[in-house]
Structure 1
Amino acid sequence: MSEYWRCAFIGEGTSDNRLAKVLERLLMSMRPGADVNLEPEPHEWNGKRPNNVEEKIKALAEEPYDLIFVHRDADNAGIEARIKECRKPGDDRVVPVIPVTMTEAWVLADLWSNEKEKETFRAWAAGKGLSRKVIEGLADPKRTLEEYLNRDRSSFMKATAFARKRSQLVEQIRIDGDVKHLEAWKRLEKELESALVRNRQHLGYE
């Protein structure tokens, strides 16, 4: 019988739910052959949606999840503050997912090595003075992504069109792509490894 991991994903909004597929692939890469089910925003919240991350985590206290992935952009607060926020409820199943400074930074890193996009993206980035090493230092990676996607347009696409394209790119993030070189991604891997062992202690002896 294969391992079974039932997991939940709590995002900042529904636009981040596509990240659940990426996290699902990451978990499966760490537990080859395991049966993984990662549910984005799975809970009905008993008819009332919680107002913040802490309330959402507490609302899942009695739910039979093995892991709870909690996504928060670092923004100006910083990665450590966001991780502390995720841990505050004291739920050992929680895996903080904290891009620096926004999820779009992971998209930009993926574009850097994406076979279909890398030549175009790298040429555009070079013209902007951008390199992979500075991605996590960008104050507004969302704006950078928006500029790239509108590079051949006379005016920016509508917000709905950008959101749709962004969601597609988020879901396509490859766990073995250039995102793996980013410090926030490395931290995610460590947080997930720790959560796996906390959940099933025998994994620490493999």
Structure 2
Amino acid sequence: MAVMERLEFRLLTDGSSDAVLIHPITWILQQHFRFAINGTWADLRRLPNPPKDLRGRIEVALDLYPCDVLFIHRDAEGESLEGRVAEIEDAVVGLSDPQVPVVLVRMQEAWFLIDEPALRCAAGNPHSGVSLTMPAIDTLEQIPDPKRMLYDLLLKASELTGRKRKKFNPGRQVRRLGELIEDYSPLRRLTAFRHAENETLTTLRDCLDAVPTIDRRRKQ
């Protein structure tokens, strides 16, 4: 059996800001496999008439962004995790390309409220002494508006005032935060993250014959 040396994955998301999920997905892969990993976002925004339905978006993403595996993101948006996963599974019926569902109970920003030092660095003020109230990991999926909370924390950590404060772009800093977080293991306490990790391992094993060579999972 040939040993896989490189994995190319693509991420199809609900919106452009969700492309930051490439970082926790890459982290998951790095916890279990030794091959090189390259992930990119399947950007459909420049198409003259991008498809609206999920099946159409998946087909176009696979056509424009060939890959070993496609990660398909959806926010639960009031639906259950199981319901959204079933929706994705229905949308990929008949497609031979490997896919992994990534369903978040809340918006993706909830997955980046886990690392205060990284958040301070992303805000451009790593040595800030301002007090930040970070949420407990176990409450992340219950936060009504994680995006607002994350943006507010970034702005507070920046300690900017006046004109610089008005020009502060928290969306850009979230993308930087995704890069700066080195350890996403606290998210293993969340059902949605554990589901994404388990689905990743199952898909790579069953569809690509990729056998995990390391397993850094531990009880959180």
| TM-score normalised according to structure 2 size | 0.72
In structure 2, how many angstroms separate the alpha carbons of the residues matched to 1:58 and 1:27?
24
| Preserved contact between residue 187 and residue 193 of structure 2 (Cα < 8 Å) | yes
CA deviations 1:182-202 (Å, max 9, x no partner) are 222111111101111121246
- Residue type of the alignment partner of 2:85: I
Q: Deviations over 1:162-183 (max 9, x none)?
A: 2111222233333444223322
* Alignment partner of 2:103 out of 98, 104, 129: 98
**Offset of 1:44 from its aligned partner?**
9.1
Alignment partner, residue 144 of structure 1? 149
Q: Which of 1, 9, 12 pairs up with 1:10?
A: 12
Matches within 5 A, 1:81-160: 81-88=83-90, 89-90=92-93, 91=95, 93-111=98-116, 114=118, 124-125=132-133, 130-151=135-156, 152=159
Aligned partner (choices 16, 24, 34) of residue 26 of structure 2: 24
Question: 2:58 is aligned with what amino acid?
Answer: I
Residue by residue over 1:24-46, the C-alpha shift from the partner in whole angstroms, topping out at 9 and shown as x without a partner, is 232132211x1222221167997
Q: Work out the CA distance in 2 between the residues paired with 1:176 and 1:44.
A: 29
Change (3 A) 1:173 1:183: farther
Per-residue Cα deviation, 1:112-144 (whole angstroms, up to 9, x for no partner): x759679989x5327xxx422211111211111
Structure 1 residues 159 and 170 mapped into 2: Cα distance closer, same or farther (>3 Å)?
farther
Give unpaired runs (5+ residues) of structure 2: 215-220
CA distance in 1, matches of 2:38, 2:144: 34
TM-score under structure 1 length normalisation: 0.76
What is the root-mean-square deviation of aligned Cα atoms in Å? 3.6
The residue type equivalent to 2:133 in the other structure is: A
When residues 110 and 50 of structure 1 are mapped into structure 2, their CA distance, relative to the original with a 3 A threshold, is: farther
Shift of 1:61: 5.3
Contact 2:27-2:184 within 8 A present in 1 as well? no
User: Partner of 1:67 in structure 2?
Assistant: 69
- Count of matched residue positions in the alignment of Structure 1 and Structure 2: 200
- Assess if the C-alpha contact under 8 Å between 1:109 and 1:135 holds in 2: no
